[in-house]
Amino acid sequence: MGKLLSFIQHQDGQVAGTSLEALKGAQELAATLNHSLAAVVFGLDTAPAELTGVRLDEILLVPAPELATYSSEYYVAAMDAILTAETPVLVAGHTYQARDWLPRLASRKGRPLISDCVGYHQDGELRWVRQIFQGKISAEMKTTPGLVIIAFQAGAFRADDLGSGSPTVRTIEVDLSDIPARVRPGERFQDTRDSVDLGRAERIISIGRGIGKEENLKLVQELADILNAELGSSRPVVDYGWLPHDRQIGSSGQTVSPKLYLAVGISGAIQHQVGMKNSGCIVAINKDPNAPIFEIADYGIVADLLEIIPRLTTALKEHQGS
Amino acid sequence: MKIAVLIKQVPDTQSVLKINAAENWVVEDNLVFTANESDTYALEEALLMKEALSGEVVVCTLGPERAGQVLKDALAKGADRALFLRDDTFSQLDSGGAARVFARSLKEEKFDLILLGLQADDTGDAQLGPMLAEELNLPHVTLVVHTELLDGRLKVKQELEGGWFQHIEVDLPALLTIQSGINKARYASLRGIMAMKSKEIKQLTAADLGLNSSDLMPDQTLQRLYLPPKIKETVFLEGAPEEVAAQLVEKLAHEAKVL
C-alpha cells in the first residue's frame, strides 16, 4: 500500500482554506486508490488545530527553522527529502504559493504536476481533470506511472465534508543548512488598507475588461447608485488603473458573497470565479456566449453591455417608482 | 544586463473555441493567434531594464512556424535578437519537456535574468518558469509586479493572495515570472518594424540542441477535451435591450427576490 501525501499550507499556524479543500480531495483519492493518507506541515512543531480530528493516518510535522516562513528553495528541498518511492501522489491546494514551488519540485523529481486540477476519474485508469483556455474547456490528463503532483483548484472539493478520525502525529527532521538562501523574502504587506470591505456588501456590480474604456465606468456607477450596490472589478480594470486595487475580486483580491452579483463584461476566468462564485444570485452580461461566467450565472444576457446598462438603470428607476 | 524573454504564441483570449474531432485540442484553422499577454509584460519589463542599464534582450519561443510572428513583433518593439525553437517533435512536449528544451537552448548564453509571463492563456499550466529555473539551477520568483535592480541582486515585489504583497531580494542570475499590472506594454514603432528586418532569428531544432526522444517524452498527456458541465442552469434573457432590461428587473424582484 502506498502512502498518499497532502501538503498543508498555513500562515503562522493558520491553515489555508484551499489546503483543507485539497485535503478532502486527498481523502477521496486515498479511498479510491486504497492508500494511506498523511498530511504534511512545514515549519511547525505542533499540529494545527484544523487537522486534529480529521481522518488521516498521520500528520507529519517538519519543524526545520528554514521552513518557518515560506521560501521556494527550502520548501522544494524539504519535500524532495520527504517523498519516498512509495509515494504515488502528492496533493496540495492550487494557491499562489503552490504555483511558486510545486513546478520546481516536479522538475527536480522529473515527474508531472497537474495544476489547477478540479477532480479525477478512476475508470480503469486514473484521469485528472483540469480546465484550460481560462476555464472555457475541460481537459482529461493521463500521467506516466510513478509519482504525480496534484494541485487542486480552490472550490474543487468542500472542506466542510472532511471525514473525521484521530491521526497520529510524527516529526521529521530534515537538514536544510547547506542550501544557500538565494531568495530572501521580506514581510508581507497590503498596499492599500482595505478601505472598502466588499465582503460585507449585499449587492455588487463588478466590471471587467469588456467595459472597453474608462469613460464607460460612469454608466455602471449610475446603475450602482440606483441599485445601492458597491462597485467591484476583475483584474484588468485594476491593471488599467480605472479602479483601485481594493475593488478587485478574485484570488489576488477580495472574496465576496453578496445577495446579488452583477458581472458586467467579465469573462469569468478561474481566478475571478474563486472570489465570487458563492454569491447568492449571479447575473452576467457579456458579448461572448461561451464566456465561463455563464457556467455559474443564474441569469445571462448575451449582448453589448453598453446597450443593456443604461436601459437597466431606467428599468430599475421605473421599478422603484412603481 | 543580458536578459532572455520567453514568449508563447496562443489563441487570442476572445477566440470562439471549437474542440477538434479527435477531442484532443481545439480547431486552429480560424483562430487568431497572438503573444501570450503576460509574456508581453515580461518583454516590456526587459526592454525597460535595457533602456535603463543597457545590455541585450533576447526573445525566445517554442512552437510551430506561425509562432515566429511573436518573435518578429518582439524584435520590432526593441528586442535585439531571437531564438526560435522549431522542431515538429516539440509539439508533444509537456511543461517539463519544454523546460528541458528551453534550458538547453539558454544555458550557454549565461543570461543575468530570464523573464516570462506567469502562465500561458491556453493551457494555463503556470509551470514553465519554476521548472526552467530548476533545470538551470537559478533562483526564481513568480507573480512579480515590480522590479528594482540593486547591487548584483534584484528587489522584486511579489503578489500574494487576497490583496497581500511581499518584497523579495533575489540573487542574480535569476528567473522571474511576470504578473499583469507591472507595466503597460508598448506598441512597435514604424522605425522598430523597419529595424526588425535586419535582426537575427536563429532557428534551433532538437538535433541542434543535442536532445533525443527520451528528453522529449511527456509525463502528462491531454487525453480528451470537453465543454465543462454547467454548475447552474443559466436562464438566458433574450430580446431587444429594453425588453431584456425589463425582464431582468422582473426576475430579480420576483424570482430571485434581491431587489
Q: Any idea what DSSP says for residue B255?
A: I
For chain B, give the mean pLDDT: 95
pLDDT tens digits along A15-35:
999 999 999 999 999 999 999
A311/B222 touch (CB, cutoff 8 Å), yes or no: no
Q: Does B216 touch chain A (CB under 8 A)?
A: no
Q: Which residues in chain A touch residue B26, judged by CB atoms under 8 angstroms apart?
A: 133, 137
Is A132 in contact with B122 (Cβ distance < 8 A)? yes
- The answer to whether B161 contacts A252, with C-beta atoms less than 8 Å apart, is yes
Q: Residue B65's pLDDT is what?
A: 97
Please tell me which residue of chain A has the smallest CA distance to B217: A144
pLDDT in tens, B24-83: 999 999 999 999 999 999 999 999 999 999 999 999 999 999 999 999 999 999 999 999
Distance from CA of B34 to the nearest CA of A (A): 14
Of B19, B164, B168, the CB nearest to A183: B168
User: What percentage of chain B exceeds 70 in pLDDT?
Assistant: 100
**How many secondary structure helices (H) and strands (E) does chain B include?**
7, 13
A112 contacts chain B (CB < 8 A): yes
Give yes or no for residue A194 having a pLDDT over 80: no
Quick: pLDDT tens for B158-171.
999 888 999 999 99
Does A222 contact B at CB distance below 8 Å?
A: no
Q: Do B126 and A116 touch (CB under 8 A)?
A: yes
A72 with A58: CB under 8 angstroms?
no
pLDDT band at A193 (very low <50, low <70, confident <90, very high): low
Cα separation of A288 and A310, whole Å?
Answer: 20
Selected residues 129-158 of chain B with any CB under 8 Å from a CB in chain A: 129-131, 133-135, 139-143, 158
Find all residues with CB under 8 Å of B127, minimum gap 6, and list them: A103, A106, A113, A115, B95, B96, B99
Give the pLDDT band (50/70/90) at residue A192.
Answer: low
* Percent over 70 (pLDDT), chain A: 98
**Band of pLDDT at residue B228, cut at 50, 70 and 90:** confident
Lowest mean pLDDT among A58-62, A118-122, A189-193, B32-36: A189-193
State the pLDDT at residue B233: 87
By Cβ distance, the residue of A107, A252, A281 closest to B256 is A281
Q: Do B162 and A252 touch (CB under 8 A)?
A: yes
Question: How do residues B11-32 score in pLDDT, each as one tens digit?
Answer: 998 888 999 999 999 999 999 9
Cis link prior to B173 (omega < 30° from 0)? yes
Work out the minimum CA distance from B178 to partner chain A, whole angstroms.
Answer: 12
Q: Is the pLDDT of residue A109 over 70?
A: yes
**Residues from chain A contacting residue B171 (CB–CB below 8 Å):** 182-183
| Mean per-residue pLDDT, B196-216 | 95
Which residues of chain A have a CB within 8 Å of the CB of B40? none
What pLDDT score does A24 carry? 97
DSSP B167-234: EEEEESSEEEEE-TTS--PPPPPHHHHHHHTTS-EEEE-TTTTT--HHHH--SEEEEEEEPPPPSS--
Q: What is the pLDDT of residue B15?
A: 86
A-B CB pairs within 8 A amount to: 266
pLDDT score, position A118: 95
Tell me the pLDDT band of A314, cut-offs 50, 70 and 90: very high
Using the beta-carbon criterion (under 8 Å), do B232 and A295 form an inter-chain contact? Answer: yes
**Residue range A200-231, pLDDT digits in tens:** 899 999 999 999 999 999 999 999 999 999 99
Look at chain A and count its residues. Answer: 322
Mean pLDDT, rounded, of chain A: 94
Does residue A318 carry a pLDDT above 70?
yes
User: What is the ipTM score, two decimals?
Assistant: 0.94
User: What per-residue string of b and e applies to A151-183 under the rule 16 or more CB within 10 Å gives b?
Assistant: bbbbbbbebeebeeeebebeeeebebeeeeebb
Give the helix ranges, DSSP H, for chain B: 37-53, 68-77, 95-106, 128-135, 190-196, 213-216, 241-250
Q: pLDDT tens for residues A229-278?
A: 999 999 999 999 999 988 999 988 888 999 999 999 999 988 899 899 98
A214 has a chain B CB within 8 A of its CB: no
For A265-289, the pLDDT digits (tens) are: 999 988 899 899 989 999 999 999 9
B242 touches chain A (CB under 8 A): yes
Which residues in chain A touch residue B145, judged by CB atoms under 8 angstroms apart?
Answer: none
Say yes or no to pLDDT of A57 above 70: yes
